[in-house]
Structures are given as structure tokens and as C-alpha cells.
Amino acid sequence: MNKVSVSSPSNIALIKYWGMSDAQRTLPNNASLSMTLNQCVSYCTLTPQTSGTCDELLWKTASGSLLPVQGSMRLGIEQHLQQLRQHFDDWQPLRIATVNSFPTGAGIASSASGFSALALAFALRCGQSLNSPDLSQLARLSGSGSAARSVIGGFVQWPGHHGQPGGPAKQFAPAQHWPLHDLIAVVDAGHKNISSRQGHHLAASSPFYSTRLRLLPERLDSLREAILNRDFNTLADTVEREAVEMHMIAMTSQPPIFYWQPATLQILERVRQLRHEGLQVCATVDAGPNVHVLCTPQDASAIVTALRTLPGVEQWIFDQAGDGPRQLEHHLF
């Protein structure tokens, strides 16, 4: 295929993957569960180079110009490309452009969407389809485990089967089953100081980590049931307990990692109040300060009105459960 373009979404982890048993192969210590998003997506266009022997890696800016990708992002893309080339035995130099619809590197899983978009575009070029069962494995070759979940829409578990840490992610309910909204409070759109890779590496140094790993399988099963039954109270209780626990592990790692900022805590508190007032709302936080406020569609506008007055939020992104990656006719160059 000559020129290929895809969009691939971010996802929000409801049960977090935190800690790896094998960093080289991105094997998680625990199964995780997520909701694929709809608006927060990465776009990627890829085509063979017509001249030259090097890859050209480009970032599309808001003004529409294409600039060379630099620094750690460039390194991450190069490493992922190397793995994809080995997998497909396809060594053609490429011109690749990418852009995100949301802040990059701020803990809204831009690596999940970005690396899954690259893997999907490469796989399409090599003749695979967006339904291929390999895609979850290809996406996580990047080192971003959560990318394994972004290749699938709706509610997703990774690994999909117990006892297979390297197994693919699996959908257990489509987005239409329960079209939950995700109101993302961007408290800080800047790059986070401590990457999730470092967080995974340090997780086991928390004295509470082994307790977490022991408790997680039951929690995951209970959350999956709650989603299948559209049981918001169990979802809210489980998702918030889970988010606090993951951050407690980070805060008690050696050295400790503090992702939360004062506004993070304020939003979490306000969300709890709103729930006590009777609204179907709860919140979770990935590896960053930004808060994902989850709610049912019928309560979304009352919740937006109540939260919009809170100080310390740079930007609100209104998202919801989505259907997963798409091949696009529209290209970035």
C-alpha cells in the first residue's frame, strides 16, 4: 500500500497496569482494564520514502506545518519502528507524520494512542487488517503496555486471558453497551517529570506492592461484572479505590513519585461530593495530575456545570467511550 493513514484512540485505565515483570518485552505484573476513548486520538500517515535511505519522522503542528520529531519522542518512534520492521521483515525507509488531538506526554495516554497508531499504520502497509489479532502485541512492542489496549474499542482487558501476561488485549463490551462520558480535567498540559516507564520500574520498591498484586484479580473481576451489569455504584467505588491505590504505590516507591497536584485533589473531592448528592459520577487519574471524571450520559451536563467553576483546570476535554482505531482516507501530508 502506498500511503496509509489511521487514527488510534487513547484509553483510560480503570484497573491500572503498574509494574512489569519483563521491561524488554513489556510484560505486565497484573491484568488491567480500560475504556477506549473517542475524541483523544493520534493520527498517523505513513508512506515509503521516494528518495534517500533514512526515515523522515514528522510532527504536524497546530498551524499545519510538518516539523522533524526530536528528542525522546524520536527515540521512542525509532525503537518501535525497529521492532515492527523485524516483525514484518520490511526494511523500506519511510516518511511518517503524526499528531495528537490532545496534550502530549501529560498522562492522558498519548503514548498508547501514538504507538498504537504507528503499529496499525505499519501493519496496514504490510497487508494486515484493523481486525488482525496480532495488533495488540505489535502496539505494545513500543514499550507502552497501555498501547496494547488502544487497538480495540469499548471496554478492554489486557491481557485478555488469565495466566498469559504476554497475551493480547480483548474487548469484553463494546462502547455502545454503556456509553460513559469522560470529562478530562487538564490540570497541567506540560510533560510529566517522571515517565510511566520509571514508575513501572519503581513499583515493586513500595512495601505495599505485593498486597496490591494479591487484591487485584478479585477487583478486576468485580469491575468487569459491574460494567457488564451497568452497575454505576460498584464501578465508582472500585475505580476510585483503584486510582488512589496506584498513586499510593507510586508515592511509597523508593524514590517516591508524586503525580498529583493540589487541583487534582480538589477535583477528586468535589466529584465525591457530587456523588453523595446523587449524581452518577466518579474519577480516576493515570500517571499524571489530570483527572478523568467518568459519568453517565444523563448526568453529564449537571456535572460539567458543577465542575467548570473549579480553579486550577487549564482545559476541559469532553470525551466518551469510543469504537477504536480507524483507517482514514484523509492524510497528514
Q: Contact positions toward ligand PMV, by CB under 6 A? A: 13, 16-18, 32, 109, 111-112, 144-146, 196-197, 286-287
Smallest separation, CB 218 to ligand PMV (Å) = 18
Nearer to ligand PMV, 69 or 108 (CB): 108
Nearer to ligand PMV, 99 or 199 (CB): 199
Nearer to ligand PMV, 76 or 95 (CB): 76
108-118 burial string, b = 16+ CB within 10 Å, else e? bbbbbbbbbbb
Give the count of beta carbons closer than 10 Å to the beta carbon of residue 229.
11
Instruction: Indicate the SS3 state at residue 303.
Output: helix
Q: Which segments of 176-313 are extended strands (E)?
A: 181-186, 281-284, 291-295
Smallest separation, CB 247 to ligand PMV (Å) = 9
Place of cell 505486565: 28
Residue 200 one-letter amino acid = H
Nearer to ligand PMV, 156 or 307 (CB): 156
- What CA dihedral angle connects 258, 264, 268 and 273, to 10 degrees? 140
Nearer to ligand PMV, 26 or 280 (CB): 26
Question: Distance between CA 295 and CA 303 in Å, rounded?
Answer: 8
Smallest separation, CB 63 to ligand PMV (Å) = 28
Q: Which residues pair with 283 in a beta bridge?
A: 293
Smallest separation, CB 268 to ligand PMV (Å) = 16
Cis peptide before 179 (omega within 30 of 0): no
Cis peptide before 311 (omega within 30 of 0): no
Smallest separation, CB 109 to ligand PMV (Å) = 6
Question: Distance between CA 158 and CA 167 in Å, rounded?
Answer: 8
Smallest separation, CB 146 to ligand PMV (Å) = 3
CA-to-CA dists, residue 85 to 91, 92, 94, angstroms: 6, 9, 11
Nearer to ligand PMV, 148 or 307 (CB): 148
Smallest separation, CB 250 to ligand PMV (Å) = 9
Nearer to ligand PMV, 36 or 144 (CB): 144
